[in-house]
Structure 1
Amino acid sequence: MSQTHKKNARSKQLLYLGNQLSRKGRNLSTVEVLSGLLETEGYTVVSGSSRKNPAFRLLDMLYKVIKHRPQTDLLLIDTYSTSAFWYAYVISRLACVLKLDYIPILHGGNLPQRLKTHSKRCRHLFGRAKVNVAPSAWLMHHFQKAGYTNLTHIPNSIALEHYEFRQRQPLMPRLLWVRAFAQIYNPLLTLKTLQELLHTHPEASLSMVGPFKDESIDECRAYAEAHQLPVTFTGGMSKSAWIKYAADFDIFINTTNVDNMPVSVLEAMALGLPVVSTNVGGIPFLLEDEVDALLVDPGNAGDFTKAILKLLQDPDLARQLSITARQKVEHFDWQVVKGKWNAVISGER
């Protein structure tokens, strides 16, 4: 970065709002990761909120907008598609009243549906934004289709230096799943896949890493106990802890019914874990079947099991998927992506 750009960056203060709940047992969120990365670029970043209660969290976010408005040059808003959509909507309305430029960062896998069901409110939120940042080409496509032009594509990023690439040889049926326990991510399918895999590979095992968001964890525990499955439920882990933990596993599975551009999948690719994933939402825009992952239809344990068996029976395929996936994820390294953020924040996109 040039000295001139560094000076301009340090003069910018950003307010970044999202769910900072990793200390409350949730996964590390984008606002928690990206805030720190932006600070390394010289920006002053105020962020929030860590309030666990949804109503108090929204009030805290609104308070921060009002409190920090005089010093804030730009507001960043993590924008999801379920209940958290309304946080972004209400915050954006306040930003308009206060004449504060804002940028929604689009994360929700169900945002394309939200564009249809709440088109007027979406126009208020996304149409009046300085720019909308889409981490996936999939969301870019759907927003363009809906008529939005104030868009830019900046992929989710990881600091690749923290991810040691290692190929699994020989590949073993040690499965890893990393996601929050929520129905939309279909964690039960992971257990049904393990159950089928045990018929041919009785040594198979599974670990499911992630915080417990809804009753799906109770359903999974009950199913695992009823069928005596060799599975571990770790709960939430810090990023550094699960990266270290992943060294003991050989295949990463992503069973979700709704998805955009999951960072956990990028991390698995960076670590050298062959990925088997559903082909929903933004996944086919991120992964190519039999090139850098194996993709299957959602909701089918039989298809997942066949894909895992394919990896186990064809070590050359597993090795090539792992290598190609690592090469792809290098394009998502922060050292590559940060230039796009600097351009957006400075208004040069």
Structure 2
Amino acid sequence: MSRTILYIGNNLSKQSNYKTTLETLSSLLIKEKYTLILSSNKKNKVLRLLDMIFTLLMQKKKLNYVLIDTFSTKNFYFAFIISQLCRFYKIKYLPILHGGNLPFRLDKSSKTSKLIFSNSYKNVAPSNYLKSEFEKRGYDAIYIPNTLEIEKYIFKKREQIKPNLLWVRSFKELYNPTLAIEVLFLIKKEFPSAKLCMVGPEIDNSFNETKKMVNEYDLNDSVKFTGVLPSYKWHKVSELYDVFINTTNFDNTPISVMEAMALGLTIVSTNAGGMPYLINNYEDGILVEKGNPKQMADEIINIIKLNNTNLSSKAREKVENFSWDVVREKWLDILK
């Protein structure tokens, strides 16, 4: 008998050009013969919330489960409203936990968090970091990693690592994009030909701050801004680069880093949030202190000088464990 699932989240891939967890997971579950209803594709947040509520009310009699993408920002309250409606109508709901800042939300909004996460059917943590943080606060959580359709990621073996850096993230203060410019400036002292490509949408003033720093450091000829690129395009762009830098101050297990690992880039990241749960330092990537451009630059310089290609090979091996063939049984087990 087919099971019907309502997946609540930001179904905005057509507007953003980024394939979301919602889109990836729902398409894979459909292949497993589940019936999926998705909400919402409304760009306006108020309309999106209303659409989510309306969809739940209209479909409630046929639903077996509701999956809820749960973040730490304003969308946290979307998850709260939908979860309480599910409780009222006695529908099993599963928050899927996102964002390295979610533990802070648990502490800041403890009563609301308890209503959501203590009454859920399952709390699904895509990283052991969030699983650990939830369990510290008394909530049960099951670890099911974000999945990659690994067969779609062509691994490029870099025979010689060059000072070509790639950054893929939203331009948002939380992700500290200016750190990438500081790192490039330091690397160019050792490798004058070093270059940086930055891929992602403008979210706040950090984009202007980044461009301002490029001008101040006279790096206009060395930094490329592409704006938003769909995944397949930035995957193609990645072939021109060798080192993927992740400069964030808060994180969970970002899909962009997982994708970069699958594509054969060497990962150098801050140790923010869940990153130590994704990257084993000096084994399949390098972790550095948050906000420390010298340490990140020194590590990248060292990788280039030693031509340490083993890191990227080990990273690819790791993310192959995130393929649907490996992850599917965990989902099928809880969505019986």
Q: CA deviation at 1:34?
A: 1.1
> Which position in structure 2 is the counterpart of 1:93?
84
Q: CA deviation at 1:94?
A: 1.5
Among all aligned residue pairs of Structure 1 and Structure 2, give the percentage whose two residues are the same amino acid.
43
Distance in 2 of aligned mates of 1:97 and 1:218: 46
SS of equivalent residue, structure 1 residue 27: coil
> Which position in structure 1 is the counterpart of 2:120?
129
1:175 aligns with 2:175: no
1:342 aligns with 2:332: yes
Extract unaligned runs of 5+ from structure 2. none
> Which position in structure 2 is the counterpart of 1:28?
19
> Which position in structure 1 is the counterpart of 2:217?
227
> Over aligned residue pairs, what C-alpha RMSD do you find?
1.2
Q: Do the aligned residues in 1 keep the contact of 2:17 with 2:230 (CA within 8 Å)? A: no
Of residues 79, 86, 97 in structure 2, which corresponds to 1:106? 97
21-30 or 67-76, which deviates more? 21-30
Q: Do the aligned residues in 2 keep the contact of 1:20 with 1:28 (CA within 8 Å)? A: no
> Which position in structure 1 is the counterpart of 2:186?
196
27-36 or 118-127, which deviates more? 27-36
Of residues 154, 157, 160 in structure 1, which corresponds to 2:144? 154
Q: Do the aligned residues in 2 keep the contact of 1:27 with 1:210 (CA within 8 Å)? A: no
1:254 aligns with 2:254: no
Q: Deviations over 1:82-110 (max 9, x none)?
A: 22111111111121122211000001211
> Which position in structure 2 is the counterpart of 1:283?
275
Q: Which amino acid aligns with 2:170?
A: A
Q: CA deviation at 1:26?
A: 5.7
Q: Which amino acid aligns with 2:150?
A: L
Q: CA deviation at 1:24?
A: 2.0
> Which position in structure 2 is the counterpart of 1:115?
106
1:308 aligns with 2:300: yes
> Which position in structure 1 is the counterpart of 2:199?
209
1:245 aligns with 2:245: no
Distance in 1 of aligned mates of 2:204 and 2:16: 13
Distance in 1 of aligned mates of 2:84 and 2:213: 45
Q: CA deviation at 1:226?
A: 3.0
Q: CA deviation at 1:56?
A: 1.3
Q: CA deviation at 1:23?
A: 2.1
Q: Which amino acid aligns with 1:51?
A: K
Q: Deviations over 1:133-173 (max 9, x none)?
A: 00111111111111113x21100110110111122121111
> Which position in structure 1 is the counterpart of 2:43?
52
Extract unaligned runs of 5+ from structure 1. 1-7
SS of equivalent residue, structure 2 residue 68: strand
1:188–1:205 Cα change, 3 Å = same
1:293 aligns with 2:285: yes
Distance in 2 of aligned mates of 1:127 and 1:69: 21
Distance in 2 of aligned mates of 1:228 and 1:51: 41
> Which position in structure 2 is the counterpart of 1:64?
55
Q: How many residues align?
A: 334
1:83 aligns with 2:74: yes
